[in-house]
Chain A
Amino acid sequence: MVRYLLSLRGLIGTLTSRELKARYRGSLLGFVWSLANPLLLLAVYTLVFDVIFKPRMAGASPYSVFLLTGLFPWIWLSTSLIEATSSLLTNAALIRKAVFPAEVLPVVAVLANLVHFLFALPIILGALVVARYLGYSVGGWSILLLPACIAVLLPFAAGIGLALAALNVHFKDTRDLLQNLLTLLFFLTPILYPVAGLAHLPWLLRVMSLNPGTPFVRLFQETLFYGRVPDVGLWLQAAGLAVLAWTVGGWIFRRLSPTLVEAV
């Protein structure tokens, strides 16, 4: 599968750039929106949580910066999955009328959202720099491990995306199931609160550790916010999930691919 997709990298590249261009087609500011959106989020979170509420949670201050470091990877993951799920249906014209490698479409959805994540990155970095300047002990050289974090989340998202895309063709409820599940999982992932703040609720910690999204979000928080090198256990956990998702997702997609064109 990987080698096959690599052989199609030209097509994937073209489609990804098309996806990005299509999003801002006709808008005056274009890619500036990719920056403006997270910047606005940062401003609002800062106002609400660091000025008005001031939540006192161990290991999460300044809170707005903590929130962003977990939230942006989560947005990448969840938006990717939602877009990947409907990717085959929205591009039905392509796969019905040409010999089109359908597996490309979910992958393109994940990659396009990766680019959006990368666009938001300067905002996170800027926030970290400002926070450090204000005396908070956030960030560090561990940020160099960011590409590795991306490298494990990418196959995880793509694998699940492949499976969901193929399943959604046959079973359109997949999309709604996914959306509700993601809303639920959002609160079960340590994005709004740090893991450290849950020491007094061991049952919740256990539930959270069952959430496949948790290790990935924590990887980003560790490298970006805490400025720590994530421990080996966390890496292994994330990498294991990524391999599993990619293998199973790819298998489901291949299994369903002969019937996709007529069902779509």
Chain B
Amino acid sequence: MDLQAPFSYFGGSGVSESKPVAGLGPEAGPKVRVENVCKQFRRTAPGFRLRTLKSALVDRNLVGGLSPEESIQAVRNVSFEVAAGEAFGLIGSNGSGKSTLLKLLAGILQPTSGRVLVDGRVAALIELGAGFHPEISGRENIFINGAVLGLSRRQIEERYDDIVAFSGLEDFVEEPVKNYSSGMYVRLGFAVAVHTDPDVLMVDEVLSVGDEAFAHRCLHRIEELLSRGKTLLFVSHSLTLVEDLCDRVLWMDRGQARLLGEPRRVVDAYRESVAEAEGRRHLEAKEAAEEPNSDSDSGAAEESRRWGSGEARILRARLLARRAGGSPGSPPPHEEAEDPTRGPSALPGTLGGLEPMEERYHLHSGEDVTFELEVTSPEGLEDVVVGIGIATPRGVEIWGTNTDLAGWRSERFEGTTVVRIECPRLRLAAGEYRLDLAVHARDGAPYDYRQGLFSFSVTAPQPQVGPYAVHHRWHFGPEIRWAERGDGVVGEDDDNNEESTRRAR
């Protein structure tokens, strides 16, 4: 597809309009200014229709005189400014107020209190689609949409071919929009929006719907708009995209502005908080599964299974990691050699002597962790093997071992004991993992086999392929030069320091 064709019309009037980049021109003031904006929605309560109408007529809003439980605070006291030429990202979990905020900025919704000022022509793509009419053709929708976005009929006619070419829907423009796929819908919406030559483009989670090729075309177009000093407001759940595209990012959390700043820092903080929440959920799931009354299979968590003769039993298991107070990425001063055959002879002594650890189900890749389990055999056993395994939620084994494989032969086990498996620098890739533990005989006959005893999540500073974060370092000859230096090393001390200094900046 010829990428240049759709842009051709900008050669005319568009160029004269293009403004100097933020901070340079005489009118380099903010393009978008949000001052203490709050947005309240009323909960749908039938029976208050007349009161709603009165509130709408008298107070000109829908939440006048509502008690807190009758309304929802979708956006609370948010303030920020976006400069001309800036790409501004909004991230946050579902229901955090991103889309409401974008609708307020686009002028579709009115704030309950506070002010929204937007300077220039706005094109907004909210919630997959710019307001198409399903019954009529793509062609007519282009005209309606263009008219809504402030174009005259002649301007739309001039740009019509470009719009259709950009959307790639030449064969379907005469079809009613209701027959379009969601991808086609978005392609048409985006095509019209960017061809209205907006000063401020607001895009809500659009690029994830179109196919790869279209996403590239959109990004190309967005970059081109940005380079001409236009402003972008971008809502997305694709954090890497936000990181790549945006100059600044705002993290919305339950209606409030949680953090605003440099993309990498905000995205990392957001990922961290999501992982922490997941860790808490894993802990809760584990605790719920350990409730005495839910001990049976019926009450157990989704993927957890347990079987065995019961001659030995796993009483409980925990995942321990360094107390979260310290800087997360920096590993401990762990100078001892990584010798897997170092025996558990040191175990009883170190049980109390470990540095402050906490039970936690959210890890950073490369952290030192300890799996701890309590095993009991009241009757006593000669033949016992303790095994551990880490698997993905879908059951793909990442790693597994047991005392037998490591060369331990049991002589006698009676009573209740604690077993710890220390894993220094557990370099798992970001994701969710499941823990399996077992006590069984050497021939494999299970005493107590527990699959999915608990789950935990791992975050990593950089994305990668595969489940194991191989420790690596890049080296290049002088012939290849880099505009920006990448990371290349995972979990190494000095690089983590570099990482933490960069975060601090």
Q: Indicate if A42 sits at the interface (CB-CB under 8 A).
A: no
Within 8 A of B (CB), among A213-264: 252, 255-256, 258-259, 261-263
Hey, which chain A residues are within 8 Å of B52, CB to CB?
170, 263
Query: Contact string, B144-188, partner A, CB cutoff 8 A, digits 1/0?
Result: 110111001100000000000000000000000000000000000
Q: Indicate if B127 sits at the interface (CB-CB under 8 A).
A: yes
* Contact, CB under 8 Å: B53 / A93: no
Shortest Cβ distance from B133 into A: residue: A94
* Contact, CB under 8 Å: A261 / B108: yes
* Contact, CB under 8 Å: B130 / A98: yes
A14 to B149, CA, bound (A): 14
* Contact, CB under 8 Å: B145 / A98: yes
Q: Indicate if A136 sits at the interface (CB-CB under 8 A).
A: no
Hey, which chain A residues are within 8 Å of B127, CB to CB?
97
Hey, which chain B residues are within 8 Å of A18, CB to CB?
133, 136, 140, 144
Q: Indicate if B214 sits at the interface (CB-CB under 8 A).
A: no
Q: Indicate if B129 sits at the interface (CB-CB under 8 A).
A: yes
Query: Contact string, B101-128, partner A, CB cutoff 8 A, digits 1/0?
Result: 0000011111000000000001010110
Within 8 A of A (CB), among B199-253: none
* Contact, CB under 8 Å: A259 / B60: yes
Hey, which chain A residues are within 8 Å of B56, CB to CB?
170, 255-256, 259, 263
* Contact, CB under 8 Å: A170 / B133: no
Q: Indicate if B143 sits at the interface (CB-CB under 8 A).
A: yes
* Contact, CB under 8 Å: B131 / A10: no
Q: Which of A25, A96, A170, A172 contacts B131 (CB 8 A)?
A: A96
A254 to B315, CA, bound (A): 69
Q: Which of A8, A93, A256, A258 contacts B133 (CB 8 A)?
A: A93
Hey, which chain A residues are within 8 Å of B96, CB to CB?
none
A263 to B62, CA, bound (A): 8
Hey, which chain A residues are within 8 Å of B57, CB to CB?
252, 255-256
* Contact, CB under 8 Å: A98 / B108: yes
A259 to B61, CA, bound (A): 6
Within 8 A of B (CB), among A88-106: 91, 93-101
A95 to B110, CA, bound (A): 13
* Contact, CB under 8 Å: B144 / A14: yes
* Contact, CB under 8 Å: A95 / B140: no
Q: Indicate if A198 sits at the interface (CB-CB under 8 A).
A: no
Known: A22-B136, A25-B135, A97-B127. A11 touches B49 (CB 8 A): no
* Contact, CB under 8 Å: B61 / A258: yes
A8 to B148, CA, bound (A): 9
Hey, which chain A residues are within 8 Å of B346, CB to CB?
none
* Contact, CB under 8 Å: B60 / A15: no
* Contact, CB under 8 Å: B109 / A94: no
Shortest Cβ distance from A260 into B: residue: B56
Known: A10-B152, A18-B144, A263-B62. A170 touches B130 (CB 8 A): no
A97 to B52, CA, bound (A): 22
Q: Indicate if B488 sits at the interface (CB-CB under 8 A).
A: no
Hey, which chain A residues are within 8 Å of B60, CB to CB?
255, 258-259
Q: How far is the CB of B330 from chain A (nearest CB, A)?
A: 47
A94 to B131, CA, bound (A): 4
Hey, which chain B residues are within 8 Å of A172, CB to CB?
49
Q: How far is the CB of A261 from chain B (nearest CB, A)?
A: 6
Q: Indicate if B408 sits at the interface (CB-CB under 8 A).
A: no
How many residues of A are in contact with the other chain, CB < 8 A? 33
Q: How far is the CB of B465 from chain A (nearest CB, A)?
A: 37
Hey, which chain A residues are within 8 Å of B106, CB to CB?
99
Q: Indicate if A114 sits at the interface (CB-CB under 8 A).
A: no
Q: Which of B49, B62, B107 contacts A99 (CB 8 A)?
A: B107
Q: How far is the CB of B197 from chain A (nearest CB, A)?
A: 16
Q: Which of A14, A94, A95, A263 contacts B143 (CB 8 A)?
A: A14
Q: Indicate if A171 sits at the interface (CB-CB under 8 A).
A: yes
Q: Indicate if A21 sits at the interface (CB-CB under 8 A).
A: yes
* Contact, CB under 8 Å: A171 / B49: yes
A104 to B122, CA, bound (A): 20
Hey, which chain A residues are within 8 Å of B153, CB to CB?
10, 13-14
Q: Indicate if A167 sits at the interface (CB-CB under 8 A).
A: yes
A95 to B234, CA, bound (A): 21
Q: How far is the CB of A138 from chain B (nearest CB, A)?
A: 41
* Contact, CB under 8 Å: B126 / A98: yes
Q: Indicate if B134 sits at the interface (CB-CB under 8 A).
A: yes
Q: Indicate if B132 sits at the interface (CB-CB under 8 A).
A: yes
Q: Indicate if B15 sits at the interface (CB-CB under 8 A).
A: no
Shortest Cβ distance from B145 into A: residue: A98
* Contact, CB under 8 Å: A93 / B134: yes
* Contact, CB under 8 Å: A10 / B132: no
Q: Indicate if B41 sits at the interface (CB-CB under 8 A).
A: yes
Q: Indicate if B50 sits at the interface (CB-CB under 8 A).
A: yes
Query: Contact string, A11-37, partner B, CB cutoff 8 A, digits 1/0?
Result: 101110010011001000000000000
Shortest Cβ distance from A99 into B: residue: B107
With a 10 A CB-CB cut-off, give which of A14, A21, A252, A256 has the most chain B CB atoms: A14
Hey, which chain B residues are within 8 Å of A101, CB to CB?
148
* Contact, CB under 8 Å: B133 / A99: no
* Contact, CB under 8 Å: B136 / A11: no
Hey, which chain A residues are within 8 Å of B133, CB to CB?
18, 91, 93-94
A18 to B133, CA, bound (A): 10
- List 10 other contacts, CB 8 Å, given A21-B136, A94-B148: A10-B147, A13-B153, A15-B144, A18-B144, A21-B140, A95-B108, A97-B126, A101-B148, A170-B49, A263-B62
29 A–B contacts, CB within 8 A, in A order: A10-B153, A14-B143, A18-B136, A18-B144, A21-B136, A22-B136, A93-B129, A93-B131, A93-B132, A94-B132, A94-B133, A95-B108, A97-B108, A97-B130, A97-B131, A98-B108, A98-B148, A99-B148, A100-B148, A170-B49, A170-B52, A171-B53, A172-B49, A255-B56, A255-B60, A259-B62, A262-B41, A263-B52, A263-B56
State the 5 A-B residue pairs at the shortest beta-carbon distance, nearest first.
Answer: A98-B131, A11-B147, A97-B131, A170-B53, A94-B131
